[in-house]
Amino acid sequence: MTLIAKIAIIAGLEIAFSLIFWAIMPKQVNNKKFDIKSVIKGLVERSFLTFSLIQGFPHALTLFGALKLGTRLKRTEKSDTQEEQKLQSIYNDYYLIGNFISVGLSIYYFTLLGS
């Protein structure tokens, strides 16, 4: 498979997953607005992970996980209502699934580009 075909596959997957995540996003999280900033952040994350894997640094996966966890830590305040806690739980589930898919895509891209 040529490099151009591989890049086309990656671009197609990025577009498809961006649209899928936009479609399944809980309306409480982002009011169904397409957030280009989030798409670009995801592209940068997967580019970093794929490049790190290609360069032989699988430990970047650990770094990625630690950074993502660190940016999401939030203690539940006693003053938070049940509605706020439920919304936070929905967002955390959505966030976790997104991170698993992001890492999975990076590993797939690594495999695709390495062959």
**Tens digits of per-residue pLDDT, 38-64?**
888 889 989 999 999 999 999 998 988
Amino acid at 79: S
Domain hosting 78: range is: 3-114
Each residue of 10-43: pLDDT tens digit? 999 999 988 888 887 777 666 667 778 888 888 9
Domains contained in the chain, number: 1
Do 25 and 94 form a contact (C-beta atoms < 8 A)? yes
For residue 70, the number of C-alpha atoms closer than 13 Å in the C-beta half-sphere is 6
